Each structure stands twice: as C-alpha cells, then as structure tokens.
Amino acid sequence: MVATKMYELGAKANLIRTLYMFGLQQAETVGEENVFDYSIGNPSVPPPQAVSDAIVELATKYSPMEINSYTPAMGLSEVRQGLADYMNKTYGAELKADNFYLTCGASASLSIIMKALIEQDGDEVIIIAPYYPEYKTFVTVPGGKVVIVPPDTKHFQLDIEKLEAAITPRTKAVLINSPNNPSGMVYSAETLTKLGDLLREKSQELGHPIYLISDEPYREIVYDNIPILYVPKFYKDSIILYSYSKSLSLPGNRAGYILVPGGVEDGKDVYTAVIGAGRALGFVNMPNLYQHVILKCMGMTSDFSVYDQNRKTLYNNLSEMGFDCVYPSGAFYLFMKAPDGDDMQLMENGKKINLLLVPGTGFDCPGYVRISYCKQPEMVERSLPVFQKLRDMYK
Amino acid sequence: MVATKMYELGAKANLIRTLYMFGLQQAETVGEENVFDYSIGNPSVPPPQAVSDAIVELATKYSPMEINSYTPAMGLSEVRQGLADYMNKTYGAELKADNFYLTCGASASLSIIMKALIEQDGDEVIIIAPYYPEYKTFVTVPGGKVVIVPPDTKHFQLDIEKLEAAITPRTKAVLINSPNNPSGMVYSAETLTKLGDLLREKSQELGHPIYLISDEPYREIVYDNIPILYVPKFYKDSIILYSYSKSLSLPGNRAGYILVPGGVEDGKDVYTAVIGAGRALGFVNMPNLYQHVILKCMGMTSDFSVYDQNRKTLYNNLSEMGFDCVYPSGAFYLFMKAPDGDDMQLMENGKKINLLLVPGTGFDCPGYVRISYCKQPEMVERSLPVFQKLRDMYK
C-alpha cells in the first residue's frame, strides 16, 4: 500500500549507518572508550562562538516576527547579497544576490538541482567514483540515470579519458565533489582545467551545455595551504552546491545554497527551475533564523586544526605500520588500502576489535576503507595500537 | 535544458502571490496605509515570548554541538515523546514517540506523505474543494492523480455523496483540511462521523485502506469555544499533518510533523516509507534548534484574540453591508460570496480601490473570495469604508 522504492529507502540503512549503530551497541557491551568509531562523518568541532552570539542577538534584539516569518523562497535578499559580496571578494567572482538560492542544506541542494534539471527518464548524470552514496538516490528519484566513472586509483584525481567515454547525447550534468568524500582528495588546477576543456568540447559537440555540478560542502577544509579553487573559472557552465554543515558545524540546522553564476548557459532558466523544484518538493525556504546567522558569520569557519592534527597522526602512523594511505589534502577523511585488496573483510576484521572503518565498496571504490577522522584527538591516539592489531592480522 | 514542469512552477506565481506583489507595488504609489491587503495568509501575531526565551536558553545553556548537530531523521526522541505525551493528555490519544516523524513544516509533510504513499502513475488522491491550491502540486509531482470533490456551498462541510462518487479502486487517500483554508469552516463531529463511516465501508469494499490525510496547520485556531476533534477517533486509518507555522507563528523556521497513529493499517510500512521519502527528497531532519524550541513550548500558542477580533469586525460589518459571508469557525479566513457570483470580477473591482481579495476560483470554488484577516485590527477598521465602496459597485 506504500511506494515500494520509498519503503526500501526507509527500511534499508546504508553501510555507514549500520556500522555506526553497531558501534553504539558495542559501546554498551565493552564500554564507549573501547570502541573506535571512524564510521560517520559528523563534525566533531563546535561552531565558532559567533554562531551562539548571533542566535542570542537575533532572539533578543530583533523582532520575533523578523526572525520567524516566511522569507522569499530563494532566501532574504540581504543574505544573498552578503554571499555575493563575500564570494566576489574571496574568489574574484562576479556574482549578484540573484545568483543564489538558499537551501535547507546539501541534500536539499542535490535533490532540488536534480529535480530542476532532469526532464525525463533517461537523462543522464555522471558521477565520479569514489562518491557519496546518496548521490545515486538524488539522481534516480527524479527519474535520472546514473552513469559512473570508475575511480582514478593512481592519483584520486579524475580519469579524463574514462569521463569522456561516459559522456553520451543524454548527458545532462557531471557531478563532482572536491574536497572529496571519501578520498580526502582535492582536485588540482590541472584536473579542473582538463575537465573544463573536455566539457566545453563535448558541450559544443552535443549542441547543449553539460552542466558541471560542484558539490562543495568541504570547500574550506583543505590542508597544507593549498589554494581553494573557484570552479566556474575553469568552466563557465558550473553550478555550485554549498552547505554550512561542515564549515560552520551546523549540520542539524539545514543551511546551504545553490549558486547559478551569471555566465551559465540558460542560467536564468536553471534558476527558475530551481525555484520550481524547491516549491514542488515542499522546501518553502531555508530556516529564517539561520539565514540571519550565516550572514552574521560570513566567512567564518569552525576551528579545523583538530582535523589537521588527526590527519597527520593517522596518516603518519598508519603509513609507518605499513598501510597504504591516500595522502589527504582536504575534508576529514583518510582513504586507506586494504592490504589484501578486500575492503569488506578489512571492515569485518576491524569490527572484531571494535575499530569501525567504512568499506570503499559503499562508495563504488572497492579495495579501500574510509576513516572519518572528525574525532577527538585523544581517541585517535588511543586507536593507534588497535590499528596495529589490525595490521598484524595481515602478516 | 531544464525540467519543463519545474520551470513552469518556478515561473508562474499563483494568484495569491500575484495579488500580494500588486499590493506592494500599489503601496509605493498610493502609500502603504491606503492598501488593504487581505491576500496572504501570514500570521500577524508574534510567537509567544516563550519562543524567544527558549532560543536564548538553548544558545547559552546548551552545548553548541547539542543544538547544531544532526538529529535522527525522524527527530529527537525526547521531542517526539513530548509530542506523544501532549497529544495523549489533550486528546485522549494513545500515541508513542515512534508515531511521530518531525518535518520541515506543512509543505514538507505534504510532499513527503504523497511521495511515501503514491506507488505509481494514476494512484488517486481525493481533495475536497475549496482547498489550498498547492495540494495539487504535492499530489501530481510524485505521479499521483488529483480527484476533486466539488464544494458543499450550503454548509461548507463535506458533501458525502459527492465524495462517495469520487472514490475508485485507485483511491489511495482522501486529503482534508479543517479548520479550512480558504473557507474558515471547521468540520463537525457529524461530518467526521459520516466521513469515517464512508471510508470504512469503501475500504472494506476495495480490500485496501483508503488513508485519510488530515492537514491541520490551523488546528488550534478555532472560535466560539468549539471543540478540537481528534480525527483518528472517527477513522482509525488517519494520518495527521501538523505545522507550527500558524499555532506558534513560526512559518519561516520550518517546523511540523507527520503523525501515523498506532492503529493505522500497515502503519509501520507507511512510517518507513515516510522515512524513505524524507531521505529521497533531501530533508535530512527538521531544524535541530527548533525541535528543542517546540519541546519547550509544547501546548502553547500565539495569542489568537486578534484574529477573533478581526473575524467579528469583518463578519458583522460585511454582513450588515449586504455581503453574504460564510460564518468562520476557524483559521483566519473569511469566505465571502461575490454579489453577482463573479469572483474574478470582484477581485478586479477590489483592486481598483486597493482592496485585495483572493478569488475562490484559485481554490476551485468560484463565486467566493477569501479574506485573510491575519492583519492589524486598525487596518481592518480602516478597511470597512472601502468594503462599503466595493459593495456600492453592486447596487
């Protein structure tokens, strides 16, 4: 009596959540301090103090109507103007308030943009492995077809030839995610240049633009002072999805945006369809109070030094133990090779000693596991001998 | 290059918003004080002080992680338990925390429940005229077919015979809305009894339950001390949609729930499909901070006495002028007959004197206009001579 696909999505927890639930169960048996849960990618550092300060100011100095009433569907104009000013200053962009559509976070942005772009069953969206598993849901639910580009396991950049082979006349968009979940890799300027060149060429060949959808919830979480690149500079038909879940550690309050820069072909139509999709799906507007919060905290981030510390601890120690790790340049994930290539078995071996690692199979990249190091550093330190135990199983 | 239907939804403002925008334009020409805008149904009374107090308490006494982190998809268990306790105490219900799924407001609830229930193109959902126009969007977008029951213009209750005639083997659900937007009518116990009897009979005949979806954003806004009825007592296969937009005047912060009571046939499947639909559409969770707010403000409402005052002023004066009005028992709408039966012309006549009334045609109930009296009482008083001018056009 209910929609089968929705029932299945509701009933079936993904691998990550299943592991996380296993960890909670184990904690009850062996004690929380003996479970080393690297499964879920939840921010472990608090939002900056400015967030709490902004909330108090809004609740005490603004009229209750102002912070609780509907906003326009695309968000308050002063917030969108603030975003444009910030992006223009930071990335030398040329954006206006009307390029931004505020959303209830990254998942909302993904759901809305796919609903806005996918016209009919069979429209194709290309996804690059390894990828966040929910991408497939957001493409297929509105009727799109997922086309997967196999991972570049050499550099964890982008295998341009394989991408080229994946493009067909039905290709509507290519979805990228850098800094990447789960690999921790950040696309280089070289990669983005090649990507832009290919998409320009193919768009011209096909006679319609292939939109590049850049999902950037980890944009500011990069290490070793590598620069943050503004994707539309490499390819003008780029649409950016952003979320404050990671940058301001606000995942529970649903804040993000879809950015359709002025140069995008048929960009006004895309923006209008985004408004329509937001309406059709029942989003109404991004929570009003948090629209004000992000304006007041523009350009701020949580303190990511803890992530950097964990990154170094894990990368250095695991490498020393003989694990083969992808050097992480961004996000809060370390991607580690299964010594015998069997990531599912590596997960099982980890579970035996309450060390929870997510198999790459879940990200369409078997042979690796994802280590989410958004954790307390003392837990990370205590987990090192447990990793050694895991390593010893492969001697 | 974009999805046609989404483009159309984004490009086409509805009648209500078009009128509202006209009012803003007129205000610039003739002055705000000379525009009598009864178009939009936005709460005009502030949230209770307890809302601001709760926000300050949460931002200062709770850890920032606690109020900003993800919550479970269905909402925090203590909030859902609080809801169950409140409903059990208030309506003698027998609910548990696990019957509630918190949502980002009424539109989200509608979008999610339709996505969860509608299995295939052609599944039918019955809507009773007059109705909130967006209902059609939320049924058709996931592939459902809308079947409309014509209005009962005698009592603005429910024409049971016409409803019976609308039921087919494809009927998945009947959607009701009491207190009603736009008629201001509240279903009586007699109406609900007849409705329950019919749906029980028809469900048995068809061999599957017809779900009764009760959309109740105006639940507590009732007048003359009429009782608030708990719909599942009349028909066990009832699913309740609730929103805090009106009761706590929080429309911009997206707070509501879907309630699937324990007695609902295949209720566990419905609830699971709701979780799946929320996930598929990208909702993740109701904003965390406001989950805590509604728990702290459980059972409170804004001060509705202003609405009641406006209701009496308008009903009494307009009736005296010779307008034929539906006596409003709930919500903040007065439904008024066009003297010559032409509601579109009545809207046009109103626009000439900057009196903005929404034609019933937009609610599939031509011949009437909706007057949204969630306004300042002094504006309502000043509008009376303008209504008289409108009446005089029909002499």
Specify the CATH number for the domain of residue B332: 3.90.1150.10
Residue A235 Rama label (left phi>0; alpha psi -120 to 50; beta)? beta
Chain A residues in contact with B6 by the CB 8 A cut-off are 115-116, 273-274, 276-277, 280
- φ, ψ for residue B220, nearest 5 deg: -85, -5
B97 occurs within a structural domain: yes
How large is the angle between the packed helices A106-117 and B4-11, nearest 10 degrees?
110
Res. A16: pLDDT tops 90 = no
The reply to whether B329 and B383 lie within a common domain is yes
Helix (H, G, I), strand (E, B) or coil at B99: helix
Q: Is A207 in CB contact (< 8 Å) with chain B?
A: no
State pLDDT tens for residues A282-313: 999 999 999 999 999 999 999 999 999 999 99
Distance of CA A61 to the CA centre of its chain: 35
Range in A362-371, B119-128, B341-350 with the lowest mean pLDDT: B119-128
Place B308 in a pLDDT band, splitting at 50, 70 and 90.
Answer: very high
Indicate the length of chain B as a whole number: 395
What pLDDT is recorded for position A395?
87
Count CB neighbours of B263 within 10 A: 14
Res. B1: pLDDT tops 90 = no
The reply to whether A194 and A282 lie within a common domain is yes
Res. A357: pLDDT tops 90 = yes
Q: Is A9 in CB contact (< 8 Å) with chain B?
A: yes
State pLDDT tens for residues A196-216: 999 999 999 999 999 999 999
Place B188 in a pLDDT band, splitting at 50, 70 and 90.
Answer: very high
- Domain around B41: 4-47+303-392
Specify the CATH number for the domain of residue A194: 3.40.640.10
Q: Which amino acid is at A304?
A: F
Strands of the sheet with B333-337, listed across from one edge = B325-326, B333-337, B368-372, B358-359
Using CA atoms, how far residue A216 sits from A172, A299, B280, B312, in Å, is 19, 15, 20, 53
Which segments of B92-144 does DSSP mark as H helices, in order?
105-117, 134-140
Residue with tokens 């749906």: B199
Res. B234: pLDDT tops 90 = yes
Q: What angle do CA B140, B141, B147 make, to 5 degrees?
A: 10
Residue with tokens 């523009």: A298
Which is more confident, A346 or A122?
Answer: A346
The reply to whether A310 and A283 lie within a common domain is no
State pLDDT tens for residues B312-327: 999 999 999 999 999 9
Mean pLDDT value across chain A = 96
Please answer whether residues B108 and B256 qualify as being in contact, where contact means their C-beta atoms are separated by less than 8 angstroms.
yes
Res. B350: pLDDT tops 90 = yes
The reply to whether A312 and A354 lie within a common domain is yes
The kind and range of the H/E element at B174 are strand B171-176
Task: Give the total number of structural domains in chain B.
Answer: 2
The reply to whether B329 and B372 lie within a common domain is yes
Please answer whether residues A138 and A114 qualify as being in contact, where contact means their C-beta atoms are separated by less than 8 angstroms.
yes
Using CA atoms, how far residue B143 sits from B112, B137, B168, in Å, is 13, 10, 17
Res. A13: pLDDT tops 90 = no
Q: Is the CB of A9 less than 8 angstroms away from the CB of B43?
A: no
The reply to whether A266 and A125 lie within a common domain is yes
Q: Which positions ≥6 away from B264 have C-beta within 8 Å?
A: B209, B211, B232, B236, B237, B238, B239, B270
A55 occurs within a structural domain: no
Please answer whether residues B145 and B139 qualify as being in contact, where contact means their C-beta atoms are separated by less than 8 angstroms.
yes
Mutation target vs B (from A21, A243, A281, A285; most B CBs, 10 A cutoff): A281
Q: Is the CB of B249 less than 8 angstroms away from the CB of A9?
A: no
A58 occurs within a structural domain: no
What pLDDT is recorded for position A391?
98
Beta-bridged to residue B257, according to DSSP, are: B102, B242
Smallest Cβ–Cβ distance between A64 and the set B46, B107, B138 belongs to B46
Average pLDDT over residues B176-193: 98
Distance CA B183, CA B335 (A): 5
Indicate the length of chain A as a whole number: 395
Helix, strand, coil percentages, rounded to 5, for chain B: 50, 15, 40
Average pLDDT over residues A33-52: 94
Residue A184 Rama label (left phi>0; alpha psi -120 to 50; beta)? left
State pLDDT tens for residues A148-189: 999 999 999 999 999 999 999 999 999 999 999 999 999 999
Average pLDDT over residues B275-289: 97
- Tell me the two tokens of residue A31: 């004690």
